[in-house]
Amino acid sequence: INKEAVQTEKAPAALGPYSQAIKANNLLFVSGVLGLVPEV
């Protein structure tokens, strides 16, 4: 399986040691961002 990390400046930076997304062959695995400001 060919794996490639995907990153963009248009999304918030990851808070942990993980990629924003991983492309594996024809699949794209994306990570999410959880809300940190309860007032919003």
Please name the amino acid found at residue 28.
L
- Mean pLDDT to the nearest integer, 5-19: 83
Domain boundaries along the sequence of the chain: 1-33
Structure tokens that stand for 3 in this block: 């794996």
Predicted pLDDT of residue 40: 73
pLDDT at 12 over 80: no
Q: How far is Cα 21 from Cα 4, in angstroms, rounded to an integer? A: 9
Q: Are 39 and 20 in contact (CB under 8 A)?
A: no
- Mean pLDDT to the nearest integer, 13-24: 85
Structure tokens that stand for 39 in this block: 């007032």
Q: Are 2 and 17 in contact (CB under 8 A)?
A: no
